[in-house]
Amino acid sequence: MISKLFQFLSSLRLTVVLLGLGVVVVFFGTLGQTSDGLYVAQERYFRSWFSYWTPHGAAFPVVPLPGGYLLGTMLVINLIVAHFTRFKWTWSKSGIFLTHIGIILLLLGQLATDMLARESIMSFREGDTRNYSESSMDFELAFLRSAGSNTLDQVVAIPAVRLKPGDELHHELLPFGIRVKEAYENARIRLRAPVMDSNRPPAATQGVGARIVIDAQPPTRTMDARNVPAAVIELSGPSNLGTWAVSGELKPQVVTVEGTEWRLEYRSVRDYKPFALTLLKTTHETYPGTDIPKNFQSRVRLRNTESHEDREVDIYMNSPLRYGGYTFFQYQMGKEQLADGGRGTSALQVVRNPSWITPYLGCILVGVGLLVQFLMHLTKFIARRKPRAA
Amino acid sequence: MRFTVVTVVSALAWMAVGCGKDEVRVYQAPQDAPPVAAANPQGGAALTPAASEIPRSAASGSSSSAGPESSASERPAVPWTVPAGWEEKPASGMRVASYGVKRPDGRSVDISVVAMGGGAGGELENVNRWRDQIGLEPATEADLAGLRSIIPAGNRQVVMYELDGKKAVLDGKYAARTLAAILPAGEMTVFFKITGESALVAEQKPQFLAWLKSVDTGGGGGESAPEASASSSAPAPASAPAASGGSERASGGGGGADGLPNWQVPSGWKAAGPKPMRLASFDIPDAAGNGDVSISKLSGNGGGLLANVNRWRGQVGLAPLEAGALAANSKAVATAGGDSGTWVELVGTEKTILGAIVARGEVSWFFKLTAPSAVAAQNREAFEQFVRSIRF
Say whether residue A372 is in contact with chain B using an 8 A CB cutoff.
no
For residue A103, the distance in angstroms to the closest alpha carbon of chain B comes to 16
Q: What's the pLDDT score for residue A350?
A: 94
Domain ranges of chain B: 80-213, 270-388
Q: Where are the alpha helices (DSSP H) in chain A?
A: 2-10, 12-36, 38-41, 68-85, 94-116, 357-389
For residue B211, the distance in angstroms to the closest alpha carbon of chain A comes to 20
Residues ≥6 apart with Cβ < 8 Å to A202:
A192, A209, A210, A211, A212, A213
Q: Can you state the percent helix, strand and coil of chain B, rounding each to 5?
A: 25, 30, 45
Q: What is the largest CA-CA distance in chain A?
A: 104
Using alpha carbons, select from B247, B213, B246, B212 the residue that is nearest to residue B97. Answer: B212
- Residues B375-387 have pLDDT tens digits of 888 888 888 888 8
Say if residue B10's pLDDT is above 80.
Answer: no
Is the Cα torsion angle A200, A203, A205, A210 positive or negative in sign?
Answer: negative
- How much is the mean pLDDT over chain B? 70
Say whether residue B5 is in contact with chain A using an 8 A CB cutoff.
no
- Residues B251-306 have pLDDT tens digits of 444 444 456 778 888 887 888 766 777 888 888 888 778 888 888 888 777 777 88
Angle between helices A357-389 and A94-116 (to 10 degrees): 170
Residues ≥6 apart with Cβ < 8 Å to B171:
A199, B106
Say whether residue B21 is in contact with chain A using an 8 A CB cutoff.
yes
Fold (CATH) for B80-213: Protein Transport Mog1p; Chain A (3.40.1000)
Distance CA A176, CA B262 (A): 62
* Chain A residues near residue B36 by CB distance under 8 angstroms: none
Q: What's the pLDDT score for residue B35?
A: 42
Task: Say which of A152, A173, A196 has its CB closest to residue B176.
Answer: A196
Residues ≥6 apart with Cβ < 8 Å to A207:
A244, A245, A253, A254, A255, B44, B45
- 8 Å CB contact of B25 and A249: no
Taking a C-beta distance cutoff of 8 angstroms, is the pair B358, B365 a contact? yes
Say whether residue A8 is in contact with chain B using an 8 A CB cutoff.
no
Between residues 77 and 116 of chain B, which touch chain A (CB distance below 8 Å)?
108-110, 112
Of the two residues A78 and B242, the one the predictor is more confident about is: A78
Angle between helices A12-36 and A68-85 (to 10 degrees): 170
- 8 Å CB contact of A208 and B45: yes
- pTM (global) more than 0.80: no
Residues ≥6 apart with Cβ < 8 Å to B13:
none
- 8 Å CB contact of B39 and A254: yes
Task: Say which of B8, B51, B171 has its CB closest to residue A77.
Answer: B8
Q: What's the pLDDT score for residue A299?
A: 92
Q: What's the pLDDT score for residue A390?
A: 58
Give the rounded distance of the alpha carbon of A66 from its chain centre: 22
A57: buried, middle or exposed (CB in 10 Å: 19+, 13-18, 0-12)? Answer: exposed
For residue B132, the distance in angstroms to the closest alpha carbon of chain A comes to 8
- Residues B52-68 have pLDDT tens digits of 333 222 233 333 333 33
Q: Can you state the percent helix, strand and coil of chain A, rounding each to 5?
A: 35, 40, 30
- 8 Å CB contact of B29 and A211: no
- Binned average pLDDT, 10 residues per bin, chain A of 390 residues: 83 92 93 85 88 78 85 89 79 86 91 88 89 90 82 88 88 89 88 73 85 86 83 86 89 86 91 91 86 87 89 91 92 72 84 91 95 91 79
* DSSP secondary structure code for residue A238 in this structure: S
Q: How many CA atoms lie within 13 A of A324 on its CB side?
A: 17
For residue A62, the distance in angstroms to the closest alpha carbon of chain B comes to 27
Taking a C-beta distance cutoff of 8 angstroms, is the pair A266, A217 a contact? no
- Residues B18-29 have pLDDT tens digits of 555 678 888 888
Fold (CATH) for B270-388: Protein Transport Mog1p; Chain A (3.40.1000)
- Residues B88-140 have pLDDT tens digits of 877 666 677 788 888 888 788 888 888 776 666 778 888 888 888 887 888 88
* Chain B residues near residue A130 by CB distance under 8 angstroms: none
Is the Cα torsion angle A368, A373, A377, A379 positive or negative in sign?
Answer: positive
B110 → chain A, closest CA residue: A195
Task: Say which of A2, A146, A194 has its CB closest to residue B110.
Answer: A194
Residue A97 φ/ψ region, left for φ over 0, alpha for ψ in the -120 to 50 degree band, beta for the rest: alpha
For residue B283, the distance in angstroms to the closest alpha carbon of chain A comes to 34
Task: Say which of A80, A111, A251 has its CB closest to residue B3.
Answer: A80
Give the containing element (helix H, strand E) for B379. Answer: helix B373-388
Distance CA A122, CA A352 (A): 13
Taking a C-beta distance cutoff of 8 angstroms, is the pair A179, A164 a contact? no
Distance CA B264, CA A283 (A): 65
Taking a C-beta distance cutoff of 8 angstroms, is the pair A187, A171 a contact? no
ipTM over 0.90: no
Apex CA B240: angle with CA B237 and CA B241, to 5°?
Answer: 60
Q: How many CA atoms lie within 13 A of B298 on its CB side?
A: 17
